[in-house]
Amino acid sequence: MEYTMEQRAALIIDECEKIKSTSPYEIFHDIAKKDFVRIHGPEHHILDGACILTAFYNAGGKINLSEALNKLMFEGLRMPGATCGLWGVCGAVTSIGAALAIIDGTGPLSGEDWGSHMKYTSATLAKLSEIGGPRCCKRDAFAAMEQSIGYIAERYGVALDMPIIKCDFFLLNKQCIGEKCPYNS
């Protein structure tokens, strides 16, 4: 079946609302294997942050999960695909940055919290630039989630579980960088 982006987004949100894990990676892994998530695509602009919001909520984070996921879906649907190569900013990172902004309730006019998420996004983008390309939505999601764990623990006092990540999507990725990828299994 061919899905529209809106359908993909809604299915991601539906799946997140059912999952009880406190590991964003486990949530991601379960959903990313579904037929409505492609190996590369703008659905990651929703999926990656949704996994953070879901794990955060399941670990005791104080948010209204349904409202947070729907806001993230709205934000993620506004971002086109290929932002990594065309805009110089990874959709996985911006998705998680949006999730962090939703947790804090920040916006463009926020005071002292205004730049807090930029510390996370800039550090994560630096890590991705060191790994190099070409694109890999799974690798970038793994790195972005991994980078968020410490930030979330420090900022919110919420511990998310993060197992050692080993990619099992590489056979589907024609552009896989193999042993240069830190998640190559």
Which of these, 75, 78, 85, 33, lies nearest to 50 by C-alpha position?
A: 75
Predicted confidence (pLDDT) per residue in 5-46, tens digit: 999 999 999 999 999 999 999 999 999 999 999 999 999 999
SS3 at position 53:
helix
SS3 at position 38:
coil
**First and final C-alpha spacing in the chain:** 30
pLDDT band at 113 (very low <50, low <70, confident <90, very high): confident
Query: Strand ranges (DSSP E) for the chain?
Result: none
Predicted confidence (pLDDT) per residue in 55-70, tens digit: 999 999 999 999 999 9
CB 177 within 8 A of CB 132: yes
Predicted confidence (pLDDT) per residue in 134-157, tens digit: 989 999 999 999 999 999 999 999
Which of these, 137, 138, 162, 135, lies nearest to 148 by C-alpha position?
A: 162
Q: Report the pLDDT value the prediction gives residue 6, as an integer from 0 to 100.
A: 97
Q: Report the pLDDT value the prediction gives residue 77, as an integer from 0 to 100.
A: 96
Query: Strand ranges (DSSP E) for 30-129?
Result: none
User: For the chain, what percent of residues have pLDDT higher than 90?
Assistant: 82
Q: Report the pLDDT value the prediction gives residue 178, as an integer from 0 to 100.
A: 92
Alpha helices in 82-136 (DSSP H): 83-86, 91-104, 116-131
State how far the Cα of 21 lies from the Cα of 12, in Å rounded to an integer: 15
pLDDT band at 110 (very low <50, low <70, confident <90, very high): confident
